[in-house]
DNA sequence: CACCCTCGAGTTCA
DNA sequence: CTCGAGGGTG
């Protein structure tokens, strides 16, 4: 393409240029605002391009005239304000269905081929472990870059994407549609990821667990409030990212017939595409590709978690169509969970809130299946014996279900004789009480010192704060530990949970806790060798407060918040109070049933074994558990002290035992499971909505389930529902279900 | 005596 | 979210 600029007149002076740059900037910004913000056109494309070219030329001539927010640097609408704003994708970004074995893959391919009704070509490519990104180009110019989000609406990260190398601001060549969306994966190549983590470690910042998190974190950085050096660093991080484009949004009449040819076009437009793909004409060819990269997954420059197989013929994509979640013409094959070797440094025993002593493996930190693992549970001493691991062994580690770390066993050949056997301690590691099985034949050992064992008190207090119990936001792991075993004062404010509702801000302010290293669990030391402590519940007075005559430390915001939230918890529903009493086998479900049936703790305490067992979901075991619980003095003391502090142990207006207001509601007799994130509902809120409508909110999908409400992020439950042919609802349908009932769905 | 379900624990992430 | 253990139900 010949340029008209070649015959341009003599270069303008710097002063003339400055004036012209200013004028051009205003003109271009007006045109952009009109176009992007108000969807109107005030100048032609040719004119616009001419203005941009002129501005670029002037800025090349006098680089100092290029302002930070020059239109040549910004993309789309006006920068900063749009960062992370929701962006609706022109076309839904679907996810892919998964298969986990060669057999399942072959079954899928056979089905797809049958549906197609003729021989197909298979396009095999690598499934990159990164972050899905949608790039929207209008008239060849990048107007937005957005994360996948829920598939319909993502987050605008355009401002940051500008600094990712390889993503063109302007498409090359011609022939691209007026408006086109391309999808791809942003990721850190393994080398860049390692370099990034090395830098994080150097500057004392947290290392990223895996390239995907690092990519996600990097794209979601904000320049706002950062100084020049920090912005420099942020851009350097973005500079380590890479993108590979692997798909294109709706293109009604593409000039090519196959997905693989689309990649050629994308490359011609200047978009980065992977060269590691192959088109084969048989299932055997697909399996070969899968096997090859299964062997060589670590010789690829980025992490991969599988292979994507697509039907290559574009005509068949439309024919095969898609479910609500995923296209039928593509599948993701996931490699089996990775196994790695590491050193078993030690086997340590922890005690939970029920007193159970659980040995767990402490290992040399190692990366497996995308994250760094240093611990894994060993369940109990029998399991340790069965696995045959010795302390000091090299062990094989994997992630079961790609999430939970699991020690498989020792590599016996690597032993050098220094390994030693694990001996289950006879005493509780936290309070020294001899451990014992609770009943004959139990494998689990427990610490019988339920009342004062620090581990158990800490665990119970934490449980009280948890979401399934009193849901006290400020009372989590850290606060629970601080309240039950601070370093100062020597006597903790909460020797047991009985005093929880008597706590005052003044009880909290003296608290100091020892800072421990997150990795080693050892106390961190100050320069002078004394342990480093933190006082989370107090702060120094402000100058204004000092002037007003206030002396000494003041309660911190978190102290006030904690006390305030504890006070609010006193009137929470009875079932929550019940759960927070830590009675064995009484979780949210049993507690709700009991609360509905009896209406007060007094009624539950007064009930006989048989009366308790009348409640749905409560049998003889739970009934005994309740009766036993009330027979313990210090348990009754908890109830008495909580009651004295104003905790409400009854449901106001409850008609009395056995006369629970029964049934009714639009969902009466129906079981609903909610999974994934449902727009407009919290996880808890969705359950509440089901129960409020008279339905049963189950936690797992079974044949008895009537509806499954699934949002983005839904996992195995959705798969199970599809397998069982259970009706699946999105958030909007779910909202209708819980307000108007199932009949309203048919309209 | 099968199922189906809840509980409890561990883990890791944002 | 997942798993194992063990309770509840039909």
Class of domain A86-334: alpha beta
Query: What's the Å distance between residue A150 CA and nucleotide B4 C1'?
Result: 32
Q: Which two tokens stand for residue A95?
A: 């996810």
Task: Summarize the confidence of residues A412-427 as an average pLDDT.
Answer: 86
Tell me how far apart the alpha carbons of residues A650 and A673 are, in angstroms, rounded to a whole number.
28
What pLDDT is recorded for position A99? 80
What pLDDT is recorded for position A359? 86
Alpha carbon distances (Å) from A88 to A75, A92, A98, A156, A430: 17, 9, 26, 9, 53
Query: What's the Å distance between residue A210 CA and nucleotide B14 C1'?
Result: 13
Class of domain A574-644: mainly alpha
CA-CA-CA-CA torsion sign (A592, A597, A602, A606): negative
Whether residue A127 lies in the annotated active site: yes
Task: Summarize the confidence of residues A97-107 as an average pLDDT.
Answer: 81
Element at A382 (helix H, strand E): helix A381-387
What pLDDT is recorded for position A270? 95
Query: What's the Å distance between residue A747 CA and nucleotide C7 C1'?
Result: 41
Q: Which fold has domain A671-746?
A: Rossmann fold (3.40.50)
What pLDDT is recorded for position A6? 41
A159 burial type by CB count under 10 A (0-12 exposed, 13-18 middle, 19+ buried): buried
Q: Which two tokens stand for residue A671?
A: 């079981």
Q: Find and list the nucleotides of strand B having atoms within 7 Å of a protein beta carbon.
A: 3-14
Q: Which two tokens stand for residue A596?
A: 């509905």
Distance of CA A199 to the CA centre of its chain: 25
In the predicted structure, residue A111 carries a pLDDT above the cut 50:
yes
What pLDDT is recorded for position A306? 86
Task: Show which residues sit with Cβ under 7 A of nucleic chain B.
Answer: A 208-210, 213, 216-217, 350, 352-354, 356, 358, 360, 371-377, 403-405, 459, 584-591, 617, 671, 696, 698-705
Q: Which two tokens stand for residue A4?
A: 């008209």
Q: Smallest Cα–C1' distance to nucleotide C1: which residue has it? A: A403
Q: Select from A367, A364, A384 the least CA-distant residue to A375.
A: A364
Q: Find and list the nucleotides of strand C having atoms within 7 Å of a protein beta carbon.
A: 1-3, 6-9
Give all strands (DSSP E) within A475-547, no chain letters.
Answer: 513-514, 533-534, 538-539
Alpha carbon distances (Å) from A233 to A196, A218, A236: 11, 11, 5
Nucleotide showing the shortest C1' distance to residue A615 CA: C8
Task: Summarize the confidence of residues A93-111 as an average pLDDT.
Answer: 83
In this structure, the number of other CB atoms found within 10 A of the CB of residue A591 comes to 23
What pLDDT is recorded for position A707? 85
Q: Smallest Cα–C1' distance to nucleotide C9: which residue has it? A: A617
What pLDDT is recorded for position A184? 94
According to CATH, where is 3.40.50.10190 located in chain A? Answer: 671-746
Task: Show which residues sit with Cβ under 7 A of nucleic chain C.
Answer: A 400-401, 403-404, 442, 585, 616-623, 675-676, 713-717
pLDDT (tens digit per residue) in A6-52: 444 567 888 888 888 888 888 888 777 666 555 566 776 667 777 87
Class of domain A339-414: mainly beta
| Least-confidence region, from A24-38, A548-562, A574-588 | A24-38
Query: What's the Å distance between residue A152 CA and nucleotide C7 C1'?
Result: 43
Nucleotide showing the shortest C1' distance to residue A616 CA: C8
What pLDDT is recorded for position A238? 92
According to CATH, where is 1.10.287.610 located in chain A? Answer: 14-65
Q: Are A412 and A392 in contact (CB under 8 A)?
A: no
A355 burial type by CB count under 10 A (0-12 exposed, 13-18 middle, 19+ buried): buried
According to CATH, where is 3.30.470.30 located in chain A? Answer: 86-334
Residues A14-65: name the CATH superfamily: Helix hairpin bin (1.10.287.610)
What pLDDT is recorded for position A1? 42
Distance of CA A127 to the CA centre of its chain: 20
Collapsing DSSP to helix, strand or coil, A724 comes out as helix
Query: What's the Å distance between residue A11 CA and nucleotide C4 C1'?
Result: 79
Nucleotide showing the shortest C1' distance to residue A621 CA: C7
Nucleotide showing the shortest C1' distance to residue A374 CA: B11
What pLDDT is recorded for position A241? 94
Tell me how far apart the alpha carbons of residues A125 and A244 are, in angstroms, rounded to a whole number.
11
Task: Summarize the confidence of residues A80-91 as an average pLDDT.
Answer: 71
Tell me how far apart the alpha carbons of residues A287 and A101 are, in angstroms, rounded to a whole number.
10
What pLDDT is recorded for position A334? 80
Task: Summarize the confidence of residues A268-291 as an average pLDDT.
Answer: 93
According to CATH, where is 1.10.150.20 located in chain A? Answer: 574-644
Tell me how far apart the alpha carbons of residues A731 and A747 are, in angstroms, rounded to a whole number.
16
Q: Select from A556, A391, A381, A578 the least CA-distant residue to A470.
A: A578
Q: Are A168 and A270 in contact (CB under 8 A)?
A: yes
In the predicted structure, residue A5 carries a pLDDT above the cut 60:
no
pLDDT grade, residue A691 (50/70/90)?
confident
Query: What's the Å distance between residue A674 CA and nucleotide B2 C1'?
Result: 27
**Total-model pTM:** 0.61
Query: What's the Å distance between residue A350 CA and nucleotide C3 C1'?
Result: 19
Tell me how far apart the alpha carbons of residues A123 and A307 are, in angstroms, rounded to a whole number.
10
Nucleotide showing the shortest C1' distance to residue A584 CA: B7
Average model confidence (pLDDT) across chain A: 82
Tell me how far apart the alpha carbons of residues A18 and A517 are, in angstroms, rounded to a whole number.
56
Query: What's the Å distance between residue A436 CA and nucleotide B10 C1'?
Result: 22
Nucleotide showing the shortest C1' distance to residue A361 CA: B10
Nucleotide showing the shortest C1' distance to residue A443 CA: C5
In this structure, the number of other CB atoms found within 10 A of the CB of residue A404 comes to 12
User: Cα–Cα–Cα angle for A380, A381, A383, nearest 5°?
Assistant: 70
Task: Summarize the confidence of residues A629-654 as an average pLDDT.
Answer: 91
Query: What's the Å distance between residue A509 CA and nucleotide B6 C1'?
Result: 40
Tell me how far apart the alpha carbons of residues A396 and A339 are, in angstroms, rounded to a whole number.
6
Higher pLDDT pick, A181 / A741: A181
What pLDDT is recorded for position A394? 86
What pLDDT is recorded for position A3? 42
What pLDDT is recorded for position A7? 42
Distance of CA A183 to the CA centre of its chain: 22
Question: Which of A127, A310, A387, A696 is flagged as catalytic?
Answer: A127
Task: Summarize the confidence of residues A308-332 as an average pLDDT.
Answer: 87
Q: Smallest Cα–C1' distance to nucleotide B9: which residue has it? A: A352
């Amino acid at each position: 393409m010949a340029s008209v600029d070649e015959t341009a007149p003599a270069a303008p002076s710097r002063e003339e240029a400055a004036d012209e740059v200013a004028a051009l900037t205003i003109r271009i910004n007006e045109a952009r605002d009109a176009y992007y913000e108000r969807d109107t056109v005030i100048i032609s494309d040719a004119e616009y391009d001419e203005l941009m070219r002129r501005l670029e030329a002037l800025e090349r001539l006098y680089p100092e005239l290029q302002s930070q927010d020059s239109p040549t640097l910004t993309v789309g609408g006006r920068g900063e304000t749009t960062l992370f704003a929701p962006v609706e994708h022109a076309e839904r970004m679907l996810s892919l269905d998964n298969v986990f074995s060669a057999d399942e893959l072959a079954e899928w391919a056979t089905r797809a081929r049958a549906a197609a009704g003729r021989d197909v070509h298979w396009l095999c490519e690598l499934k990159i472990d990164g972050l899905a990104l949608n790039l929207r180009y209008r008239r060849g110019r990048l107007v937005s870059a957005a994360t996948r989000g829920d598939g319909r609406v993502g987050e605008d990260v355009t401002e940051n994407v500008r600094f990712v190398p390889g993503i063109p601001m302007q498409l090359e060549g011609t022939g691209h549609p007026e408006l086109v969306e391309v999808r791809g994966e942003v990721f850190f190549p393994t080398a860049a990821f390692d370099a990034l983590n090395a830098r994080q470690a150097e500057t004392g910042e947290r290392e990223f667990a895996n390239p995907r998190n690092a990519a996600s974190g990097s794209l979601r950085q904000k320049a706002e409030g950062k100084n020049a050096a920090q912005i420099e660093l942020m851009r350097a991080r973005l500079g380590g990212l890479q993108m590979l484009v692997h798909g294109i949004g709706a293109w009604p009449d593409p000039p090519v017939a196959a997905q693989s040819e689309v990649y050629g076009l994308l490359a011609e437009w200047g978009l980065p595409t992977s060269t590691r793909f192959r088109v084969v004409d048989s299932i055997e060819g697909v399996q070969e590709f899968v096997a090859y990269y299964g062997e060589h997954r670590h010789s690829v420059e980025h992490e991969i978690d599988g292979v994507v197989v697509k039907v290559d013929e574009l005509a068949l994509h439309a024919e095969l169509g898609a479910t609500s979640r995923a296209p039928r013409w593509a599948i993701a094959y996931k490699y089996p969970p990775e196994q790695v070797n590491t050193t078993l440094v030690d086997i340590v025993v922890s005690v939970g809130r029920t007193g159970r002593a659980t040995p767990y493996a402490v290992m040399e930190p190692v990366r497996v299946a995308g994250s760094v693992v240093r611990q894994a549970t060993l369940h109990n001493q029998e399991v340790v014996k069965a696995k045959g691991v010795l302390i000091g062994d090299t062990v094989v580690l994997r992630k079961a279900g790609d999430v939970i770390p699991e020690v498989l066993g020792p590599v016996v050949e690597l032993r050098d004789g220094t390994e030693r056997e694990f001996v289950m301690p006879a005493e509780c590691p936290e309070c020294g009480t001899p451990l014992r099985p609770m009943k004959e034949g139990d494998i689990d050992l427990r610490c019988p010192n339920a009342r004062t064992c620090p581990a158990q008190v800490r665990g119970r207090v934490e449980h009280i704060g948890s979401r399934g119990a009193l849901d006290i936001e400020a009372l989590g792991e850290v606060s629970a530990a601080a309240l039950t075993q601070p370093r100062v004062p020597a006597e903790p404010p909460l020797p047991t949970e009985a005093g929880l509702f008597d706590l005052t801000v003044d009880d909290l302010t003296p608290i100091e806790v020892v800072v421990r290293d997150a990795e080693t669990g050892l106390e961190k030391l100050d320069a002078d060798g004394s342990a480093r402590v933190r006082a989370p519940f107090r702060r120094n007075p402000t100058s204004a407060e000092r002037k007003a005559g206030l002396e000494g430390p003041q309660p911190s915001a978190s102290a006030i918040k904690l006390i305030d939230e504890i006070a609010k918890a006193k009137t929470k529903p009875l079932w929550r109070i019940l759960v927070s009493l830590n009675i064995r086998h009484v979780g949210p479900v049993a507690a709700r049933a009991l609360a509905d049936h009896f209406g007060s703790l007094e009624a539950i305490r007064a009930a006989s074994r048989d009366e308790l067992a009348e409640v749905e979901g409560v049998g003889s075991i739970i009934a005994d558990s309740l009766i036993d619980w009330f027979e313990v003095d210090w348990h009754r003391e908890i109830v008495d002290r909580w009651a004295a502090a104003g905790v409400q142990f009854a449901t106001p207006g409850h008609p009395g035992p056995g006369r629970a207001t029964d049934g009714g509601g639009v969902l009466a007799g129906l079981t609903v499971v909610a999974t994934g994130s449902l727009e407009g509902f919290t996880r808890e809120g969705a359950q509440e909505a089901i129960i409020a409508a008279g339905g049963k909110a189950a936690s797992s999908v079974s044949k008895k389930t009537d509806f499954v409400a699934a949002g983005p992020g839904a996992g195995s439950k959705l798969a199970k529902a599809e397998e069982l042919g259970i009706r699946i609802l999105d958030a909007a349908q779910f909202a209708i279900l819980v307000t108007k009932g199932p009949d309203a769905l048919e309209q």
